[in-house]
Chain A
Amino acid sequence: MKKVRSNIEKRRLSGVTAISLMSSLSLLYFGFISPGKDKTTFGFVLNNEWVIIKEWVIASATGAKIFSLIAVVASIIAVLAFRANRKIVIPAAIATFGILMSFITWVASGKFIPFTGLLQGALLLAVPLIFGSMSGLICERSGVINIAIEGQLLASAFVSGVVASLTHKTIWGLIAAPIAGAAISFLLATFAIKFSVDQVILGFVLNVLVIGLTDFLYKKLLVPYQSTWNTAPTFGHIELPILAKITVIEPIFFSQSIVVYLMFAIVATITFALFKTKWGLRTRAIGEHPTAADTVGIDVNKLRFKNVMIAGLIAGVGGAYYTVGSVGAFGKEMTAGAGFIALAALIFGKWSPIGAVFAALLFGFADNLQSTLTIIGVSIPSEFMLMVPYIATIIAVTGLVGRVRAPAADGVPYLRGGAH
């Protein structure tokens, strides 16, 4: 009898097929058809950490074969897992890692890859994305679509830069930023919840509003009066004792500005709060089934309003990373679409905090790999590398990698008595 497959199974099948195909292609192409002729060097030491391993040299062809083989084995496990109806996420992730590493070893034949720098850069690029996606997460889990992440990030980057410049204190910048993020959230919450404005349109308009306002003020105030308005100091790096001396791990995790440590704390808090506390249960309830939540006495719109405001505060800290957290001065449209990539990371991570973090790290990695490869000079046009996060998101939302489902009541205004 022919086996009947549901739509979800069909998509999982095409996901498994795609990853197996890519693994085999990677082995064939990077390993045999067009092997690298030279050696690839991976560098591991960045600063003054203890040297456990300094660098690793491997013939490009051999390295590519090894990593591709790992990918192929992982794909086979994924196929077996699929047939046994078990989860395919972990083998699929390993396979992706193998293909990526194989690609790097192949493409950097005869060149030096600063491996630790690559990972550190990936984390740093992912920081605002993670803050942004956490903001989106809290909004959307409670049933309010937040496309205004970009606006929240940009507004808070602007405000924190200006406040830190005027007060000459980084800490005031860090305090002011969440307030700016929350101000955008206030507009989002008021119009979306109180006036039932379409949330996608609203978020879009808020972005335009913030881009227009910050560009305008930037040209009007920050450029002509740069010395007083746009010379924000930045946070120094805090090195943790002992931990900050370990190779590879140190520069990535334990020698960062305070904003990065804050990020780890916030992600951990959200993960715990969303799944283990009363607040989390209620938040998920109003995002999935507001009517049921209302029936048991939760004030849906009040909690939504509160959560959207919290989300604004979180995105605000992410915005502060752009100015006081890294470069100091505010630049015109300096968030450059990070809010949308954060949104993509949220969806790619299936609306779960950990998933969103990994997706953001992946996007940060792709972005940083692109600039590293451009610097060491490889033949692939950087534009195609830059497209990777967006293509990955399209693959994710079209459901090639498992099922992606938004909270059921996401974007639907709640009116008592079911008037919608």
Chain B
Amino acid sequence: MAFTLTGLIIAISDAKVLAKFSSPLEFFKSALATVGNAYLALFQGSVYDVNLTKGHTFIHGFYPLSETIVTATPLILTGLSVALAFKSGLFNIGAQGQFIFGAIGASYVGFHFHLPVGIHILVAALAGALFAAIWGGIVGLLKARTGAHEVILTIMMNYIASYFILWVLKTQSFLRPGRIDPIAPEVNQSARLPLLAGANFRLNFGIFIALAAAVFVWWLLTKTTIGFKFRAVGANGQAAKTAGISVPFVITSTMMICGALAGLGGAVQVLGSEYALNADIAGSFGFDAITVALLGRAQPLGTVFAALLFGALHAGGRTMQSSTGVPLDIVLVTQALIVLFIAAPAFVRYLFRIKKMNTSASLTSKGWNG
């Protein structure tokens, strides 16, 4: 449904299509062709592109699929961060800031130290996760102690983080020798995640880290006592408190783990595909994470699939932009529409005149005083 609406927008905004508005038949043909081309490019950019195989083996046609997975990897991690927060009844908008701190930490350890291959990756990734865990933990601690709403706190922390990275990139230790623009040195070879499909593809080990994190979140939530506490607080804070669960502890530890997950996303982005820290490293991973978690219904497995879908939309959107001239930003619109329809089951029922179903309750966070 979201795709139909998006198609409509693409068609309306195309001047060539509008020019044929006088004859309805021509108009529809042209509109369909434009939308069709855009979606074809979207597919070519995200899964398989025959054109890329010219002069190469057929495997090369899968380059877009590799791009999809590379884009999805940090999205899985940030998406898990938001999803886990949802499970504890928190709305973590701060994945963006946590991602930035993860990237800073991983980058610094990556280019500043010289360590053996396996250990260097581990230390760099952990440094990223730790930085971000502290950054996320601040929010948790503030909320637990003062009751301030995490949405406001994380929005503000995101801005602070985005200015912080601008400043960090200007400091002496992050300045790349011989460069004056804000870009950090590339991380050492020993800290880079191994490529999985040769030098032609950016596909790297990061996807396994992301999948492992998804398994970890699933295990944490369903198999451990602490995960049970998280879910209990998320389902009913008052009841959990009465049952003797320390709500401040749950809030703080949730936000720390969420921070670590998003930070790991930043670390993977730096160590796996970007190598050098730059001001734009976080892109919109932290914000897309929210749509990913919502689409994945805050379940680890759902989050993975949602991240893959959005990874495909982004990777494909780039191809669509270059080959058909439909701006990448339409992907944002599609995402927003998808989430809107998911967040509003009542609206969808109303739209299709469906009688009351036994759907699970839609995701909710709490009001300012919650």
- A residues contacting B by CB (< 8 A) are 11, 140, 145, 147, 191, 194-202, 204-206, 208-209, 211-213, 215-217, 219-221, 225, 337, 340, 343-344, 347, 381, 383-384, 386-387, 390-391, 393-394, 397-399, 405-406, 408-412
Q: Is the CB of A195 within 8 A of B156?
A: no
Residue of A nearest to B86 (CB): A201
Task: Give chain B residues whose Cβ lies under 8 Å from the Cβ of A406.
Answer: 367-369
Task: Give chain A residues whose Cβ lies under 8 Å from the Cβ of B155.
Answer: 340, 343-344
Q: Is the CB of A220 within 8 A of B13?
A: yes
Task: Give chain A residues whose Cβ lies under 8 Å from the Cβ of B153.
Answer: 394, 397-398
Q: How far is the CA of A411 from the CA of B13 in the complex (A)?
A: 35
Residue of A212, A347, A381 near B332 (CB, 8 A) is: A212
Q: Is the CB of A197 within 8 A of B167?
A: no
Task: Give chain A residues whose Cβ lies under 8 Å from the Cβ of B145.
Answer: 398
Q: Is the CB of A216 within 8 A of B329?
A: yes
Instruction: With A145-B368, A196-B346, A204-B93 as known contacts, state yes or no: A390 contacts B362, CB within 8 Å.
Output: no
Between B145, B151, B153, B337, the greatest number of chain A beta carbons within 10 A of the residue's beta carbon is seen for B151
Number of A-B contacts (CB under 8 A): 153
Residue of B nearest to A211 (CB): B332
Looking at the complex, which of B72-80, B204-212, B287-295 is the stretch in contact with chain A?
B287-295
Q: Is the CB of B152 within 8 A of A347?
A: yes
Residue of A nearest to B142 (CB): A398
Interface of A is mostly: helix
Q: Is the CB of A191 within 8 A of B340?
A: yes
Q: How far is the CB of B336 from chain A (nearest CB, A)?
A: 4
Residue of A nearest to B93 (CB): A204
Q: How far is the CB of B206 from chain A (nearest CB, A)?
A: 25
Q: Is the CB of A383 within 8 A of B167?
A: yes
Q: How far is the CA of A352 from the CA of B296 in the complex (A)?
A: 38
Q: Is the CB of A204 within 8 A of B332?
A: no
Task: Give chain A residues whose Cβ lies under 8 Å from the Cβ of B160.
Answer: 387, 390-391
Q: Is the CB of B346 within 8 A of A212?
A: no
Residue of B nearest to A200 (CB): B365
Task: Give chain A residues whose Cβ lies under 8 Å from the Cβ of B36.
Answer: none
Instruction: With A208-B335, A212-B335 as known contacts, state yes or no: A198 contacts B364, CB within 8 Å.
Output: yes
Q: Is the CB of B167 within 8 A of A394?
A: no
Q: Is the CB of B333 within 8 A of A201?
A: no
The interface size bin for chain B is 35 or more
Residue of A197, A200, A383, A390 near B151 (CB, 8 A) is: A200
Q: Is the CB of A201 within 8 A of B330?
A: no
Q: How far is the CA of A21 from the CA of B70 in the complex (A)?
A: 50
- A-B CB contact pairs (8 Å), 23 listed: A145-B368, A198-B364, A205-B340, A208-B332, A208-B339, A209-B333, A209-B340, A212-B329, A212-B334, A212-B335, A212-B336, A219-B327, A344-B155, A347-B152, A381-B167, A383-B163, A383-B164, A384-B163, A397-B149, A406-B367, A406-B368, A406-B369, A411-B367
Cβ of B35 within 8 Å of any chain A Cβ, yes or no, is: no
Q: How far is the CA of A337 from the CA of B146 in the complex (A)?
A: 26
Residue of B294, B329, B336 near A219 (CB, 8 A) is: B329
Q: How far is the CA of A206 from the CA of B344 in the complex (A)?
A: 13
Excluding A212-B332, A383-B166, 7 further A-B contacts by CB distance (< 8 Å) are: A11-B146, A198-B343, A200-B151, A202-B340, A204-B290, A212-B336, A387-B163
Task: Give chain B residues whose Cβ lies under 8 Å from the Cβ of A199.
Answer: 367
Q: Is the CB of B156 within 8 A of A393?
A: yes
Q: How far is the CA of A410 from the CA of B294 in the complex (A)?
A: 22
Q: Is the CB of A411 within 8 A of B156?
A: no
Instruction: Identify which of residues 327-370 in chain B touch chain A, using a CB-to-CB cut-off of 8 Å.
Output: 327, 329-337, 339-340, 343-344, 346-347, 350, 362-370
Q: Is the CB of A201 within 8 A of B91?
A: yes
Task: Give chain B residues whose Cβ lies under 8 Å from the Cβ of A394.
Answer: 142, 148, 153, 156-157
Between B159, B294, B331, the greatest number of chain A beta carbons within 10 A of the residue's beta carbon is seen for B159
Q: How far is the CA of A215 from the CA of B333 in the complex (A)?
A: 10
Task: Give chain B residues whose Cβ lies under 8 Å from the Cβ of A209.
Answer: 332-333, 336-337, 340
Instruction: Identify which of residues 30-50 in chain B touch chain A, using a CB-to-CB cut-off of 8 Å.
Output: none
Residue of A nearest to B327 (CB): A219
Between A145, A204, A343, the greatest number of chain B beta carbons within 10 A of the residue's beta carbon is seen for A204
Cβ of B176 within 8 Å of any chain A Cβ, yes or no, is: no
Q: How far is the CB of A274 from chain B (nearest CB, A)?
A: 18
Instruction: Identify which of residues 70-123 in chain B touch chain A, using a CB-to-CB cut-off of 8 Å.
Output: 91, 93
Task: Give chain B residues whose Cβ lies under 8 Å from the Cβ of A381.
Answer: 167, 170
Q: Is the CB of B367 within 8 A of A412?
A: yes
Instruction: With A205-B340, A219-B329 as known contacts, state yes or no: A393 contacts B152, CB within 8 Å.
Output: yes
Task: Give chain B residues whose Cβ lies under 8 Å from the Cβ of A147.
Answer: 151
Q: How far is the CA of A200 from the CA of B163 in the complex (A)?
A: 25
Residue of B nearest to A337 (CB): B159
Residue of A nearest to B138 (CB): A394
Q: How far is the CB of A160 from chain B (nearest CB, A)?
A: 19
Instruction: With A191-B340, A343-B152, A381-B167 as known contacts, state yes or no: A411 contacts B363, CB within 8 Å.
Output: no
Instruction: With A195-B346, A195-B350, A208-B335 as known contacts, state yes or no: A220 contacts B148, CB within 8 Å.
Output: no
Instruction: With A215-B327, A219-B329, A410-B368 as known contacts, state yes or no: A398 contacts B148, CB within 8 Å.
Output: yes
Interface string of B161-187 (1 = CB under 8 A from A): 001101100100000000000000000
Q: Is the CB of B367 within 8 A of A197?
A: no
Q: How far is the CB of A135 from chain B (nearest CB, A)?
A: 16
Task: Give chain A residues whose Cβ lies under 8 Å from the Cβ of B8.
Answer: none
Q: How far is the CB of B54 from chain A (nearest CB, A)?
A: 30
Cβ of B9 within 8 Å of any chain A Cβ, yes or no, is: yes
Residue of B nearest to A214 (CB): B329
Q: How far is the CB of A305 from chain B (nearest CB, A)?
A: 15
Considering the complex of A and B, which 3 residue pairs feature the smallest CB-CB distances, nearest first? A411-B367, A212-B332, A406-B368
Q: How far is the CA of A406 from the CA of B148 in the complex (A)?
A: 11
Task: Give chain B residues whose Cβ lies under 8 Å from the Cβ of A398.
Answer: 142, 145-146, 148, 153
Between B294, B326, B331, B332, the greatest number of chain A beta carbons within 10 A of the residue's beta carbon is seen for B332
Task: Give chain B residues whose Cβ lies under 8 Å from the Cβ of A347.
Answer: 152
